[in-house]
């Protein structure tokens, strides 16, 4: 495992769990291809950053993001549905999309993508749905900025106040620790229950940050947290 990756962790965590992290990473990537290695490395970077920022599952900030996780996709989906309905209504009345084509069609497509992502997040596929919804919001924001250029430079604060809240709300689910994602299976339906009981305890293991996607693998070992 790269020392650069390990140095992303706080010093105390490296001393206590550095060897375990390196060993688990080696087991998870042994014989794996470059895509798998990249994904594992990105997971480690995300976990280390959460620990440094105090938004891990054992921190108050992480539990706060977990508490907002079920509501943020609903708000994002409702906003996307409103934009899409407004665009379709205007197109029905005037015969034209809200913005000049093809930009108007692209913005409507991103709104639909956001709505689909929010529905996925609320119906069981939280991580994929949250990323999809965020990508849709980013796409809609880019389309809007392009449509109002160069006017956006004349009133930057007004446009910032309009564009920032949807982006911030869509980003909230991405900050939720993976082991605190909303449950997607009923009790006793699969192996996820084992790690969920462990990760929800006050002495959550360092490894539980990735248990939601690696149940039964090297990451699902549990021990005492620092």
Q: pLDDT by residue (tens digit) across 187-203?
A: 444 433 333 333 333 33
Q: How many residues does the chain have?
A: 226
d(CA 56, CA 154): 40
* Per-residue pLDDT, 196: 32
Question: pLDDT tier at 180 (50, 70, 90 boundaries)?
Answer: confident
Cα-based angle 160, 92, 78 (whole degrees, multiple of 5): 45
For 48, the token pair is 């280390």
| Greatest CA separation for the chain | 65
Percent of the chain scored above 90 by pLDDT?
Answer: 23
Cα-based angle 181, 6, 126 (whole degrees, multiple of 5): 15
Please say if the pLDDT value at position 34 is more than 60: yes
50 with 209: CB under 8 angstroms? yes
* Per-residue pLDDT, 128: 92
Q: Mark residue 124 as left, alpha or beta (left: phi above 0; alpha: psi -120 to 50; beta: remaining).
A: left
* Per-residue pLDDT, 222: 35
Radius of gyration of the chain (CA): 21
Query: What is the pLDDT averaged over residues 21-30?
Result: 87
Question: pLDDT tier at 100 (50, 70, 90 boundaries)?
Answer: low
43 by DSSP, 3-state: which? helix
Question: pLDDT tier at 98 (50, 70, 90 boundaries)?
Answer: low
CB atoms within 10 A of CB 85: 11
d(CA 78, CA 123): 15
Contacts 24+ apart (CB under 8 A), 2-8: 2/41, 5/41, 5/44, 5/45, 5/48, 8/44, 8/45, 8/48, 8/49, 8/52
Q: For residue 78, give the nearest of 146, 169, 159, 168 by alpha carbon.
A: 169
């Amino acid at each position: 495992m790269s020392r650069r990756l390990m140095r992303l962790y706080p010093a105390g965590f490296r001393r206590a769990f550095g060897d375990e992290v390196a060993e688990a990473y080696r087991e998870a990537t042994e014989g794996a291809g470059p895509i798998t290695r990249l994904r594992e490395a990105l997971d480690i970077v995300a976990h280390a950053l959460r620990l440094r920022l105090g938004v891990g599952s054992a921190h108050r900030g992480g539990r706060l993001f977990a508490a907002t996780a079920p509501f943020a996709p609903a708000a994002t989906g409702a906003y996307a549905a409103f934009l899409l309905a407004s665009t379709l209504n205007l197109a029905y009345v005037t015969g034209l999309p809200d913005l000049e084509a093809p930009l108007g069609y692209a913005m409507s497509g991103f709104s639909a993508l956001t709505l689909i992502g929010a529905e996925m997040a609320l119906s069981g596929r939280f991580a994929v749905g949250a990323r999809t919804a965020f990508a849709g919001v980013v796409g809609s924001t880019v389309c809007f900025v392009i449509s109002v250029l160069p006017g956006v430079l004349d009133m930057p604060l007004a446009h910032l106040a309009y564009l920032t809240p949807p982006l911030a709300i869509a980003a909230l689910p991405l900050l939720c620790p993976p082991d605190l994602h909303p449950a997607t299976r009923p009790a006793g339906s699969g192996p996820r229950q084992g790690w969920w009981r462990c990760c929800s305890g006050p002495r959550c293991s360092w490894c539980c940050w990735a248990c939601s996607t690696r149940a039964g693998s090297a990451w699902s070992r549990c021990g005492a947290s620092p």
